[in-house]
Amino acid sequence: MGGTDIRTTPAEPRLVRPTLLRAFLAGEYLSLGILCFSAAIGLLWLLFGTASPVASAAMITGCCWTAFRAVGGMAGEFRAGWVSACVTAMALLLWLSAVRDVPAWLATSWASPATLALLSSVLFCCDVLDIRHVQNQHITPELRRRRDGLRVVLVVCGLFTLWGVGLPIATELYRQGPPDSASQLERMALPQHIGFRCGEAFVTLCFFILGANIGSFLNVVAWRLPQGRSIVSGDSCCPGCGKSISRRDNVPILGWLWLGGRCRSCQSAISSRYPKVEALTGGIFLLFYFLQLISGGATLPLRTINLYRGVLWTVMFAKWDLIGLYLYHCFMLATVLAAVLMIHDRYRLPRRLQLFTLTLAAISPLLFPTLILIPAFPAIPTGSYSATHAPPACLLFSLAGLTGGAAAGQLFSWFSQRTRMPSEQLLPAGDLKWMFAFVGAVLGWQSAATFLVFALALLLFCRWLTDGSRWGPAWLLAALLLHHATWRLHWIWIPTM
């Protein structure tokens, strides 16, 4: 990393000295240690019922605060004194209330542990943000990214523990209350319950990792396809020195953070777009995993929501129709994301990508009729499986979706020209027609129409908010996500006849 830290211009922020950096890193690891310790103690307290959950949370908050303060002090900057003082006072009060009975003066409504915990957590967040701001001014970007990598791992581990261990323990505590509320799951012994929840958390993690890996693939697609290069052969390589990137450094999100955003061999900067796209795709997969898959299809229109929901009943005892719909819709969202990336890079969408995706979307309902949720025309009875899913109805669905979508794309192109947007920001009409036709073929022509309404609303909102240049084509993806997440909700406003 030699040489990269030396800045000569006085305008640059002062970088922290190496000894302070080492102290800062030591503080960072110390804070992790304290965090783990206090979380364990808090859980033990919860488990043995010697303290209220609020008090345990407060203790964890207090420990976190101490650790962060220590780090802030070591980094050589001490600010936000009053905020820290308030947080300390509240954490101490709550800690006190945890080890003995809550004093009468503390039990009044305005100073109840719940109020104090709420306030202290708000103040704590302010404090953390403030320290983070100060720290970020004084450490190198590479170090910051490596620290962020550590935090990503920690957050994932924390969420995993919360789901896998925290949830069963909370259920266990709840079970000590009214016995009649105990369901099948709550009758499990604690170790079994922890094992079961850890399994659930693992499945959820797998879906995020799947999304992040597909995001990694989308980066490759958006980079190579417009240049006419193959997307299946050839390792990913550094754009700077051309050396292929090792498997270890190619881990989505974390690879980039651990490398500090630089190539291992030539130290040239790697764009932060790669981890962002990976995180975004992972996030989209996770969002619809919760909204559409393990909810038993709660966001899907004209479909009875599954009685048995959750990870166990939808993924482990696989409900293939629901999983198929989820994967098919994720494929659509990922394809639109790749297209958005290409349009953002000012490439025209390759003809073979358009043809391939449209063909796939057109024939999929014929091969898997359960992918159709909304019949193309109201005359086709919705309740009758055979009528909705017979080959002529499937063909009608695809054709109506393609033509309706293309018309919606044409309309959108016409409308966006009317918003007096600078001509270089206008999206090519052909690409717009493809995107709407693709959405129409996957979700039905009705969705292409509602997608058009959502996209126009977002376009006008973004035009009103900014000059539009910062948003690019991203609001098209945003409109589609919004449409898909609220599909069942806005569908009930459209008469089905």
- Binding to Zn ion by CB under 5 A, coded x per residue (else -) over 188-227, reads ----------------------------------------
> In the bound complex, what is the minimum distance in angstroms from residue 261's beta carbon to Zn ion?
12
> In the bound complex, what is the minimum distance in angstroms from residue 243's beta carbon to Zn ion?
5
470's tokens: 């910062």
Told to check if 58 binds Zn ion by CB under 5 A, we report: no
Phi, psi of 298 (to 5 degrees): -70, -20
Contact 226, 342 (CB under 8 A): yes
Q: Which of residues 361-420 bind Zn ion (CB under 5 A)?
A: none
Q: Which is nearer to Zn ion, 263 or 315 (CB)?
A: 263
450's tokens: 């509602």
Residue 176: Cβ within 10 Å count: 8
Whole-angstrom Cα distance, residue 329 to residue 307? 22
Q: Which is nearer to Zn ion, 32 or 245 (CB)?
A: 245
Q: Which is nearer to Zn ion, 89 or 241 (CB)?
A: 241
Phi, psi of 407 (to 5 degrees): -65, -40
Using alpha carbons only, give the angle 469, 475, 479 rounded to the nearest 5 degrees: 160
Q: Which is nearer to Zn ion, 238 or 437 (CB)?
A: 238
> In the bound complex, what is the minimum distance in angstroms from residue 262's beta carbon to Zn ion?
8
Closest to 477 in 3D by CA, of 308, 283, 294: 283
* Binding span for Zn ion by CB under 5 A among 140-148, 168-176, 230-238, 336-344: 230-238
> In the bound complex, what is the minimum distance in angstroms from residue 399's beta carbon to Zn ion?
49
Told to check if 238 binds Zn ion by CB under 5 A, we report: yes
Told to check if 489 binds Zn ion by CB under 5 A, we report: no
Q: Which is nearer to Zn ion, 64 or 263 (CB)?
A: 263
Half-sphere exposure of 415 (CA within 13 A, CB side): 17
Contact 381, 387 (CB under 8 A): yes
Q: At what angle do helices 113-138 and 53-74 cross, to 10 degrees?
A: 20
155's tokens: 């957050």
> In the bound complex, what is the minimum distance in angstroms from residue 220's beta carbon to Zn ion?
17
> In the bound complex, what is the minimum distance in angstroms from residue 2's beta carbon to Zn ion?
16
Closest to 219 in 3D by CA, of 234, 233, 206, 236: 236
Q: Which is nearer to Zn ion, 235 or 467 (CB)?
A: 235
Q: Which of residues 80-109 bind Zn ion (CB under 5 A)?
A: none
Q: Which three-class secondary structure state does DSSP give residue 467?
A: coil
Binding-site size for Zn ion (CB under 5 A) equals 5
Whole-angstrom Cα distance, residue 180 to residue 284? 38
> In the bound complex, what is the minimum distance in angstroms from residue 147's beta carbon to Zn ion?
23
Q: Which of residues 239-278 bind Zn ion (CB under 5 A)?
A: 240-241, 263, 266
Q: Which is nearer to Zn ion, 251 or 366 (CB)?
A: 251
Whole-angstrom Cα distance, residue 165 to residue 157? 11
Interface ranges with Zn ion (CB under 5 A):
238, 240-241, 263, 266
